[in-house]
Structure 1
């Protein structure tokens, strides 16, 4: 199965607009209680999420997983920081790349693979405003070309 092509639950479309994605990596997420049920119901928002590396561990921050509606008093905190499951070598490699090149690590999509929630993370470089305008122009031109070809 290709990277990030399981049962996609949520996508971070803003990331492709704001960043140039240099590299991607699949990681597992450490979840509590009813969080997996909320993810299966697509009640997750990656829009403002980012990955922070501390003490040789990767953490997913600022990702909102809504409380499970049929849950009880043991529901989780929606914005809590969640640990990512990666190999030490991968964490060290990405940490050095992010620090040296001035890049950031962002979540791109969350999907279910063999019953487990996985997150596709990307090593990203921020776009300037003129880059964003250029990519919007290119996307608009491609859309117009597809429209013309479809009408033929």
Structure 2
């Protein structure tokens, strides 16, 4: 199994998305955020773990799936990581929380689709990647609350 089929999109999503994140910007610091907004220091470790679980989970499923299932997982993963990275740029760089909210809803749907594909091939892979959907759901709620307040 070539790692480029699942590691490359995950690493690119992490790097491109990370370049768009600006938690110390004046704009972000000035936002009215809810008390349940985690400290900035939480995001790096959480995302590192989620990207690692996503890479490993998709690798497991790709090793076990048919050629058609592997192609579907690969397409879903590339789409998902593009949406993941795009959210960072819309929210932090473009400073558009409402537009980012619309985008993260697409990311949530994409993540659910990826999980569905993984579950069909390897339930363990599905369980490994499920925390990613949980965190994205939390991020969606946080994005919605920030958009509402600002």
Normalization by structure 1: what TM-score?
0.24
In terms of fraction of residues, the more strand-rich structure is 1
Normalization by structure 2: what TM-score?
0.24
Structure whose CA Rg is larger: 1
